[in-house]
Amino acid sequence: MISRNALYIADRMLRELKRDVRTMFLFIVSPAFVMVLTKGILYDHPETFDRVGLITMGLFPTAPAFLFVAFAVQRERYRGTLEYLMTAPVRRLDVYVGYVIAFTLPAFVQIAGMLAVTYGFLDLNIAGAWWQVALFALLSCVLGVGLGLFSANLAHNELQLTKVLAAMAAPHLMLSGIFQPFDDMDGWMKVLASVAPWRYAVGAVSGLHENASMTAGMWGDLGATLLIVALLSAVSVITIFRRRTA
């Protein structure tokens, strides 16, 4: 059950996000804008757009959540808010759950807009239902929150965080399976891809291209993604207060 402290932290964070209009605008609009760009690039290749567009819809919500949560934590450290929370009767789990709630609620609007644009104007044709894509996109957002909190614990300041995010995002993108399917990768790349969170998310959502229902492989990739989210959550809960404001 969600504690009152977690709800309080989520409410405070949502009020902070509400005041930062530009951040919220980018968070909500960026996935739909990326889908429009993807359609423009692949306009003459509708079958390729169906495959790439599906993966983009299911995976891209990870990116804004990943970036904004990481910088939000650094901002909270700079202001001393996290240190203040340490003096209050708040558990680390409450802080983590509060952040997940705060960034997941706007994700409903983000994903709704992305689906409306993609299915209403971009003519995406896949076997899976729209609500299945929406659930995978929501899971990707939660994964992004976990990755963002984990990344924030590796940096002392925003400059270091920028380097950490670049070092984490680029390899994950290359190994995710967007550019080359996992089965077609070389042996050493498969080993690296096996520990990349996005690879399993891509594997799960890409199955909706040709399957209207979940297959065994998709369930396996979904289970691996949920396990990674749980591990990132555990690490973030343990280490979220480890560093102090510089």
Length of the chain, in residues: 246
Share of the chain above pLDDT 90, in %: 7
Q: Which amino acid is at 135?
A: L
Which position has the higher pLDDT, 160 or 143? 143
pLDDT, tens digit, for every residue of 25-62?
888 888 899 999 999 999 899 888 998 888 888 887 88
Answer whether 175's CB lies under 8 Å from 198's CB.
yes
Share of the chain above pLDDT 70, in %: 93
Cα separation of the two ends of the chain: 34
* Mean pLDDT computed over 9-35: 85
Question: pTM for the full model?
Answer: 0.81
pLDDT, tens digit, for every residue of 153-170?
777 777 777 777 777 777
Determine the pLDDT at residue 151: 78
Least confident range from 50-59, 90-99, 106-115: namely: 90-99
CA separation for the pair 56, 35 (Å, rounded): 7
pLDDT, tens digit, for every residue of 173-184?
777 777 777 777
pLDDT, tens digit, for every residue of 189-223?
888 877 777 778 888 888 888 888 888 888 988 89
